[in-house]
Amino acid sequence: MLEVLPQLPADPILGLSAAFKQDTNPNKVDLGVGVYKDELGRTPILGSVAKAQKILLANEDSKVYIAPQGVPGFISGMLELLLGKSHRTLLENRVAAVQAPGGCGALRILAELLKRTGGNPTVWVSDPTWANHIPLIGSAGLKIETYPYFNKEQASINFDAMVACLEKVNKGDVVLLHGCCHNPTGADLTKEQWHKVLELAQQREFLPFLDIAYQGFGDGLEEDVYGLRLLADNLPEVIIAASCSKNFGLYRERVGLAALIGANSQVKNALQTQIQSVARGIYSMPPSYGGALVDIILNSSDLNAQWQAEVTEMRERMQTLRRLLATKVKEQGVSRDFDFITQQKGMFSYLCISPEQVQKMRSEFGIYFVDSSRVNVAGINTENVGYVAKALAAVL
């Protein structure tokens, strides 16, 4: 029976790492999977995380199951990080939440929960969106449609087209929005545009589904949740999937948060049971380790301050690399303006070149990034930036 299952092609993002490893080009550059790298190309354990690990090791006295909703201090710390201390939805006891196995786990359990509503909502995702959104949400059996988001020719958000599409979304549909650092384009909504999204959500009565995987990598920890808080302040219902992979560097620990803001505390209480029951039906309860580390960091003023400084350092490094890449491309005499790279936010930039040109960068220069032309800015360093710019000029 099992032989009926065919072999599948490599994952469009994760497959790049395997291909990169096999490449024997001594100049090869990995700008594929979205992981932060330092100047030496390493993804180090953050200093705050290393200290939290020591504290955890010294104090952990059991490996018994944790509560189905996860580590309590993790959940409260993350909700405060996302929504702000004493946010009214927290004071009004309107937020149900569980610790999830990564941002992916959060997306999936929220999708399963939406399916349970029985309303069979369509989930609208940006065009383009992170490649894994479609399988994660689609596997729950939800219908997915796209709304226009990015204009490749102009390398900017096509907001008029986005608005025109969202004006037709049905009541009860779900609109997936990237809280910050849009993956794959790096093009984020302005404050004014978030206000327009709020107005549309109120008019059309759609449910915003915020995916926030890069808080702190755009403009700052507070600045990056402007849209999320605006919607949470003004709408009866919002759902949130957050990841700690990037801003805590806890990629392999798989730690994220799935949260649902309900209209009142009664709804919240029901949602809490529902979301725990969804998780119980898939993986029972979350792993403890990553959540325990985030709990220690967020709830210790010293470690929290150290972590915030580390997030700032990562953000500023990526901003510097953006400017460096744009300058180096200009120095190559490329007529096309690549300054948009400096405007984009977070870990990714969309170079707006064709899949053929992306392939050429890979086969002729050993520079690996996603076919859509998404590059991981953090994979650039002062040593390889000139080579990347030269290759880009050559394929153009």
CB 352 within 8 A of CB 150: no
Q: Which of 37, 51, 246, 328 is catalytic?
A: 246
Residue 238 binds to ligand LMR (criterion: CB under 6 A): no
171 as an active site residue: the answer is: no
Kindly state whether residue 372 participates in binding ligand LMR, applying the rule CB under 6 A.
no
User: What whole-number distance in Å separates Cα of residue 379 and Cα of residue 208?
Assistant: 32
Q: With beta carbons less than 8 A apart as the criterion, state whether 13 and 370 touch.
A: yes
Q: Is 235 in the site for ligand LMR (CB under 6 A)?
A: no
For this structure, is 130 an active site residue?
yes
| 107 lines the binding site for ligand LMR (CB under 6 A) | no
Q: Which of 29, 31, 33, 329 binds ligand LMR (CB under 6 A)?
A: 33
Bridge partners (DSSP) of residue 127 are 148
Strand 156-157 relative to strand 150-151: parallel, antiparallel, unpaired?
Answer: antiparallel
Which x/- pattern, by CB under 6 A, does the window 143-182 give for ligand LMR?
----------------------------------------
Using CA atoms, how far residue 74 sits from 111, 213, 256, 296, in Å, is 22, 16, 10, 8
Residue 137 binds ligand LMR, judged by CB under 6 A: no
| 340 is an interface residue for ligand LMR by CB under 6 A | no
Give the nearer residue to ligand LMR in terms of CB position, either 126 or 183: 183
Binding of ligand LMR by 36 (CB under 6 A): no
* Active-site pick, 211, 224, 295, 328: 211
Query: Does 354 sit near ligand LMR (CB under 6 A)?
Result: no
Nearest to 210 by CA among 85, 96, 106: 106
Classify residue 236 by burial, with Cβ atoms within 10 Å: 0-12, 13-18, 19+: middle
Closest CA to 373 of 334, 328, 341, 345: 341
Q: Does position 343 bind ligand LMR by CB under 6 A?
A: no
Element (H, E) at 149: none
Choose, by CB under 6 A, the member of 53, 76, 122, 132 that binds ligand LMR.
Answer: 132
Contacts with ligand LMR by CB under 6 A: the residue count is: 6
Q: Establish whether 211 is a catalytic residue.
A: yes
Q: Is 258 in the site for ligand LMR (CB under 6 A)?
A: no
Helices (H), the chain: 14-22, 47-59, 72-83, 88-91, 102-116, 133-138, 159-166, 191-204, 226-234, 265-282, 289-298, 301-331, 340-343, 355-365, 385-395
Q: Is 291 in the site for ligand LMR (CB under 6 A)?
A: no
Please check whether residue 270 is in contact with residue 238, taking contact to mean a CB–CB distance below 8 angstroms. no
Which C-beta is closer to ligand LMR: that of 183 or that of 288?
183
Residue from 13, 241, 311, 314 binding ligand LMR (CB under 6 A) = 13
Helical axes 301-331 vs 289-298, angle rounded to 10° = 100
- Select from 69, 126, 158, 183 the one that contacts ligand LMR (CB under 6 A): 183
Q: Which of 212, 242, 166 is nearest to 345 (CA)?
A: 212
353 binds ligand LMR per the rule CB under 6 A: no
Smallest distance, ligand LMR to C-beta of residue 377, A? 12
In the complex with ligand LMR, the residue whose CB is nearer, 224 or 295, is 224
Q: Which is nearer to ligand LMR, 13 or 109 (CB)?
A: 13
E strand or H helix at 243:
strand 238-243
Q: Which residue carries 């032989």 as its tokens?
A: 3
Binder of ligand LMR out of 20, 36, 124, 130 (CB under 6 A): 130
Is the Cβ–Cβ distance between 17 and 37 less than 8 Å? no
Does 17 contact ligand LMR by CB under 6 A? Answer: no
Confirm or reject binding of residue 379 to ligand LMR (CB under 6 A).
no
Say whether residue 106 binds ligand LMR (CB under 6 A): no
Cβ neighbours of residue 138 under 8 Å, at least 6 residues apart? 144
Q: Figure out which of the listed residues 31, 34, 95, 290 binds ligand LMR, where binding follows CB under 6 A.
A: 34
Which active-site residues does the annotation give? 130, 211, 246
Binding site for ligand LMR (CB under 6 A): 13, 33-34, 130, 132, 183
